[in-house]
Amino acid sequence: METSRPLDTLNKARNKRVIVELKNGKQFIGKLSAFDIHINTVLEEVEERVNGEITRKIGVVFLRGDTITMICPE
Amino acid sequence: METSRPLDTLNKARNKRVIVELKNGKQFIGKLSAFDIHINTVLEEVEERVNGEITRKIGVVFLRGDTITMICPE
Amino acid sequence: METSRPLDTLNKARNKRVIVELKNGKQFIGKLSAFDIHINTVLEEVEERVNGEITRKIGVVFLRGDTITMICPE
Amino acid sequence: METSRPLDTLNKARNKRVIVELKNGKQFIGKLSAFDIHINTVLEEVEERVNGEITRKIGVVFLRGDTITMICPE
Amino acid sequence: METSRPLDTLNKARNKRVIVELKNGKQFIGKLSAFDIHINTVLEEVEERVNGEITRKIGVVFLRGDTITMICPE
Amino acid sequence: METSRPLDTLNKARNKRVIVELKNGKQFIGKLSAFDIHINTVLEEVEERVNGEITRKIGVVFLRGDTITMICPE
Amino acid sequence: METSRPLDTLNKARNKRVIVELKNGKQFIGKLSAFDIHINTVLEEVEERVNGEITRKIGVVFLRGDTITMICPE
């Protein structure tokens, strides 16, 4: 029986929609297209939400890992 | 007699319910399914709580280690 | 089938216009001319925006990586 | 004559009661059961105190090292 | 065709006047005389500005890299 | 002629009384019994002071290096 | 023709008076007696100033590098 690692969870979420929350409270909802060990993350077809309101639609966004608090597969 | 290490405590809590608190004050209560040496952590069947109130139910959440202050096995 | 990495996204955006957001809330819109693994970034023909207002035009700007939250190719 | 190192002090406090203070002002008083070079720390039979008031009793708590300011053996 | 790196931009600005902005909002305008990979930076013949007002003239200043947000060649 | 290093100053202060100031403004005055390259520091026979007032007497305290701003030999 | 590095500037300032500013806004003016690559710094014959007012005279002070924003040779 193998032990799972946190990045396995992100790996399974590739090409699926995820919610990413930043330290500044913003949320980004989009398709997870890439990440690395620093948790630098790229989303596609993205909605930015602030306090639950959609504030912007973005084709592609690169998020620097150290600004991310959590990532939820939908 | 062996000396225990902090990650041993997390290891024993695998697949059990834990409370995770973040620097921004949010709590996540769920089953600990994975962690690594940076304390990046994955929970399953999760409740998010803010000021003791359940604010969200989440299937799976990846929490970036540097945003975590404490983890309590229930 | 190869797996893409976050810096590939920045690589594809070279010499194209991007929006860079900093932790202090400022935005810089300009042509991405260089970046490195720390996400230190150089933009050319840049507009600085604060709260959506253009506050400055800058020929070239070096942005220190740890101050960046996100980079969006336009 | 040997020179003592800071972690020797923590080592001597193993299995004894200590007070741990976090950057967010919370105190945790409990038996020091484990620590590592990052000062990740595990306490057992723990009281959480905020402004001197006991706010919670916890069986076991893992505290991430970078959130800790000080540890006092009682 | 070679790919440029962010520090190349700083290298080209050596001995020229640059504007450096810090995380605390202060600006330093002076001749860039040295920098390293941490972006530790030395300026000569420097004006310190706070909210656009000149607050001090300084012969030489060493700025610690992690306090810098941006550097603009004039 | 040899060049002195910052840790030499701490070394000379071993077993002497020092004032340690933290990022949160607290002061700890006590005998410097140990330190390491991260500036993790152990004091003995300690007074904690907040705004110049003695708020606590502590036998031994371990202070995490990254929370320390300055150390003054008395 | 050799390229100068930021630490060369600090080296030239050894045993001369410098102004050191911290992230918390405090200034320390004194003779630079030692520094290292982390910019941990030791000053001698020191004045602490807050908002331009002398608040303390100190024989020797060790300043942790990550709390320093700038160092100016007088």
8 A C-beta contact, residue A69 and residue A20: no
- How far is it, in rounded angstroms, from Cα B72 to Cα B21? 9
Q: Do A70 and B67 touch (CB under 8 A)?
A: yes
The alpha-carbon gap from E70 to the nearest alpha carbon of chain C, in Å, equals 5
pLDDT-derived band at B16, boundaries 50, 70, 90:
very high
Partners of A64 on chain B (C-beta within 8 Å) are: none
CA-based R_g, chain G, Å: 12
- How far is it, in rounded angstroms, from Cα B53 to Cα F55? 35
Average pLDDT over residues B16-36: 97
Give the per-residue pLDDT at A25.
93
Residue F1 touches chain G, beta carbons under 8 Å: no
| Chains G and D in direct contact, meaning 3 or more beta-carbon pairs closer than 8 angstroms | no
Partners of C66 on chain A (C-beta within 8 Å) are: 66
pLDDT in tens, E37-48: 999 999 999 999
DSSP state of E65: G
- How far is it, in rounded angstroms, from Cα D3 to Cα F15? 11
Structure tokens given for F45: 């026979």
8 A C-beta contact, residue B35 and residue B13: no
Give the per-residue pLDDT at E1.
43
The ipTM assigned to this model is: 0.94
Closest-CA residue to D32 (of D8, D61, D55, D57): D61
- Give the HSE-up count for residue B30: Cα atoms under 13 Å, Cβ half-sphere: 24
Residues of chain F with pLDDT under 50: 1
Centre a 10 Å sphere on the Cβ of residue B1 and count the other Cβ atoms it contains: 2
- Would you say how long chain D is, in residues? 74
Structural domain boundaries in chain G: 6-73
Query: CB neighbours of D5 closer than 8 A, spacing ≥ 6?
Result: F34, F36
Query: One-letter amino acid identity for C2?
Result: E
C70 vs A14, A35, A62: nearest CB: A62
Give the per-residue pLDDT at A2.
56
Give the per-residue pLDDT at E2.
56
pLDDT in tens, C14-73: 999 999 999 999 999 999 999 999 999 999 999 999 998 999 999 999 999 999 999 999
- How far is it, in rounded angstroms, from Cα G8 to Cα E60? 12
DSSP state of G67: G
Q: What is the torsion angle, in degrees rounded to the nearest 10, for the CA atoms of residue A50, residue A56, residue A58 and residue A64?
A: -30
Give the per-residue pLDDT at D2.
56
Residues of chain D with pLDDT under 70: 1-2
| Chains E and G in direct contact, meaning 3 or more beta-carbon pairs closer than 8 angstroms | yes
8 A C-beta contact, residue C50 and residue C29: no
pLDDT in tens, A17-31: 999 999 999 999 999
Higher pLDDT, G1 or C38: C38
Query: CB neighbours of F22 closer than 8 A, spacing ≥ 6?
Result: D69, F28, F63, F67, F68, F69
pLDDT in tens, G13-32: 999 999 999 999 999 999 99
Query: One-letter amino acid identity for C63?
Result: L
Query: CB neighbours of B34 closer than 8 A, spacing ≥ 6?
Result: A3, A4, A5, A6, A8, A9, B14, B41, B42
The alpha-carbon gap from C28 to the nearest alpha carbon of chain A, in Å, equals 15
| The CATH number fitting domain F6-73, selected from 1.10.1200.10, 2.170.190.11, 3.40.50.720, 2.30.30.100 | 2.30.30.100
pLDDT in tens, B5-14: 999 999 999 9
C42 vs E9, E23, E68: nearest CB: E9
Partners of C66 on chain E (C-beta within 8 Å) are: 66
Which residue from F minimizes the CA distance to D68?
F64
Higher pLDDT, A64 or B4: A64
The alpha-carbon gap from C70 to the nearest alpha carbon of chain A, in Å, equals 5
pLDDT in tens, G28-73: 999 999 999 999 999 999 999 999 899 999 999 999 999 999 999 9
Give the per-residue pLDDT at A4.
85
The alpha-carbon gap from A21 to the nearest alpha carbon of chain B, in Å, equals 10
Three-state secondary structure call for residue E68: strand
- How far is it, in rounded angstroms, from Cα G72 to Cα D1? 41
Give the per-residue pLDDT at B2.
55
What backbone phi and psi angles, to 5 degrees, belong to C21? -110, 140
Mutate which of F64, F68, F69, F71 to test chain D, going by most D C-beta atoms within 10 A? F64
- How far is it, in rounded angstroms, from Cα F16 to Cα G42? 17
Chain F window 52-71: which residues touch D at a Cβ cutoff of 8 Å? 58-64, 66-67
| Chains B and A in direct contact, meaning 3 or more beta-carbon pairs closer than 8 angstroms | yes
Give the per-residue pLDDT at A40.
98
Q: How much is the mean pLDDT over chain A? A: 95
8 A C-beta contact, residue D40 and residue B5: no
- How far is it, in rounded angstroms, from Cα F33 to Cα F44? 7
Question: Residue E4 above 90 pLDDT?
Answer: no
CA-based R_g, chain F, Å: 12
pLDDT in tens, E5-34: 999 999 999 999 999 999 999 999 999 999
- The secondary structure of chain B as a DSSP string is -PPP-HHHHHHHTTTSEEEEEETTS-EEEEEEEEE-TT--EEEEEEEEEETTEEEEEEEEEEE-GGGEEEEEE-
Could you list the beta-strand ranges (E) of E1-74.
Answer: 17-22, 27-35, 41-50, 53-63, 68-73
Angle at G29 between CA G25 and CA G32, to 5 degrees: 120
What backbone phi and psi angles, to 5 degrees, belong to B54? -70, 120
Q: What percent of chain A has pLDDT over 70?
A: 96
- How far is it, in rounded angstroms, from Cα C17 to Cα C8? 16
